Amino acid sequence: MEVRVGSVEDVRRDGCRTVDVNGRPVGVISVGEEFFAISDKCPHMGASMCQGSLSGTFVPAGPHEYVYGRAGMVIRCPWHGWEFDIESGRSLLDPKRVGLKTYRVTQEDGEVVLHV
């Protein structure tokens, strides 16, 4: 099934747009030239992930080194700060147990298309 989300320009301007897919909210997120889609409900207590913030995180580095990376690829729940990678949907804290469902997104004829 395909869901037309809106024009590339509109979705980029919004940053995150929520669409209803069979009664479930899905957040379509614009980062640079790419689009990602995740379940819009935090698995902790159901907050809208699109109401949260996009940022990066510290990435593995040498002893006593702090290296910030993955800019714009980590979404943070607005209620309790749970963090998820928007590419994989996995939690940064417990990636083997907690995550958000992800969906494929393409661009077709100037529109963003969600594939479910």
Q: What angle do CA 12, 14, 16 make, to 5 degrees?
A: 90
CB 15 within 8 Å of CB 6: no
CB 5 within 8 Å of CB 15: no
Is the CATH number 3.40.1160.10 carried by domain 2-115? no
First to last CA, the chain: 5
pTM of the predicted protein model: 0.91
Q: What is the pLDDT of residues 57-109, one digit of tens each?
A: 999 899 999 999 999 999 999 999 999 999 999 999 999 999 999 999 999 99
CB 78 within 8 Å of CB 85: no
Instruction: Domain ranges for the chain, please list them.
Output: 2-115
Give kind and range of the element (H or E) at residue 103. strand 102-108
